[in-house]
């Protein structure tokens, strides 16, 4: 084999590091949006590779809906502590009070949509001009068309028609006052790429990504973890199953999948065999309409 050969994960890693450094080089006040999910955990590892032995040139920012899995929150705090990096947490709860927003009600009630308000408020509070996020283009068809540097107006809105052409590996981060940029270093990674990278890098994940016994209610054929945040209809059955989470979002809109995968290798094997897409298997929020993601992104969602 050629001595100068990078395999696909090394190429993806090199590209992601380059993008992160472009953010650091082009912006005055960037931030890394950290959710405690595997994609943002991967971003943190990439940031270590990009900036060590220096500090990250941005804080980690978590928009906490108050409905997160406690395991993810604990992981978040321990990680920031271990890395010695700054963590900023802002709560959707506070935005609801401050802006007098109405809390969604009913069966599919979720604060997922309200996150946008808190995110925009946080961007304004700290004057962030760029937010690094862990979105991937393979997740959803609206994401498939988004640029790596995605310019948003002052309402955080994505306008697919106003996107800048993105050529070679030149990223245009020039913005006018009030605009900001969402930057997506792992745009070109798939779910499987992320898992293979986590394996290669021996990254520790929150334990809810692996099989555990959990009480769930059955909703529309999906398993939802029972919690104080989820409103149960009387006819919805409660079961105890061996499950894991394929994505980790809010407890109100992230479903579990039945699984006996107990380590990274068995998770990878399970994904390779899977017949259902990542968001299709686990996201209640995308099921509401065919264009749910496109609509949310235009409204300033991540």
Smallest gap from Cβ 221 to another protein, in A, equals 11
Nearer to another protein among residue 77 and residue 290 (C-beta) = 290
Smallest gap from Cβ 27 to another protein, in A, equals 11
Smallest gap from Cβ 123 to another protein, in A, equals 18
Report the C-alpha gap between 175 and 27 in whole angstroms: 10
Smallest gap from Cβ 178 to another protein, in A, equals 12
Nearer to another protein among residue 111 and residue 182 (C-beta) = 182
State the alpha helices, DSSP H only, in the chain.
8-26, 38-51, 70-83, 92-98, 115-126, 191-201, 264-273, 278-282, 292-298
Cα 67–73–79 angle (5° rounding)? 160
Residue 155 burial (CB count, 10 A): 11
Nearer to another protein among residue 87 and residue 281 (C-beta) = 281
Report the C-alpha gap between 39 and 45 in whole angstroms: 10
At how many degrees (to 10) do helices 191-201 and 38-51 cross?
A: 50
Which residues sit at the interface with another protein, rule CB under 8 A? 2, 4-8, 10-15, 17-18, 21-22, 24-25, 48-55, 57, 137-138, 141-142, 144-145, 160-170, 172, 174-176, 187-188, 190, 192-193, 274-277, 280-281, 290-291, 294-295
**Cis geometry, peptide bond prior to residue 167 (ω within 30 degrees of 0):** no
Smallest gap from Cβ 184 to another protein, in A, equals 11
Nearer to another protein among residue 20 and residue 92 (C-beta) = 20
Nearer to another protein among residue 73 and residue 218 (C-beta) = 218
Q: Indicate the pairing of strand 30-33 with strand 130-132.
A: parallel
Q: In DSSP terms, which residues pair with 216 in a beta bridge?
A: 225, 239
């Amino acid at each position: 084999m050629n001595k100068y050969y990078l395999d696909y994960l090394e190429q993806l890693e090199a590209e992601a590091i380059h993008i992160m450094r472009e953010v650091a080089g082009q912006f005055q006040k960037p931030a890394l949006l950290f959710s405690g999910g595997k994609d943002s955990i991967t971003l943190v590892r990439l940031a270590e590779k990009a900036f060590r032995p220096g500090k990250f040139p941005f804080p980690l920012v978590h928009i906490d809906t108050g409905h997160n899995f406690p395991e993810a929150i604990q992981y978040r705090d321990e990680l920031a502590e271990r890395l010695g990096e700054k963590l900023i947490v802002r709560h959707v709860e506070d935005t609801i009070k401050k802006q007098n927003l109405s809390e969604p009600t009913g069966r599919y009630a979720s604060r997922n949509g309200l996150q946008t308000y808190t995110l925009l408020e946080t961007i304004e509070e700290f004057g962030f001009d760029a937010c690094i996020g862990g979105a991937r283009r393979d997740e959803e068809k609206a994401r498939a068309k988004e640029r790596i540097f995605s310019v948003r107006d002052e309402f955080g809105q994505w306008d697919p028609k106003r996107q800048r052409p993105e050529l070679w590996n030149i990223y245009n981060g020039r913005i006018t006052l009030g605009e900001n940029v969402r930057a997506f270093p792992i745009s070109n990674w798939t779910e499987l790429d992320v898992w293979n990278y986590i394996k290669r890098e021996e990254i520790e994940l929150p334990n809810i990504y692996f099989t555990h016994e959990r009480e769930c209610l059955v909703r529309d054929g999906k398993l939802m973890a029972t919690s104080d945040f989820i409103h149960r209809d009387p006819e919805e059955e409660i079961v105890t199953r061996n499950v894991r989470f394929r994505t980790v979002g809010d407890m109100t809109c992230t479903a579990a999948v039945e699984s006996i995968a107990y380590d990274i290798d068995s998770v990878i094997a399970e994904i390779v065999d899977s017949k259902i897409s990542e968001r299709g298997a686990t996201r209640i929020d995308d099921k509401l309409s065919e264009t749910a993601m496109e609509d949310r992104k235009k409204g300033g969602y991540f």
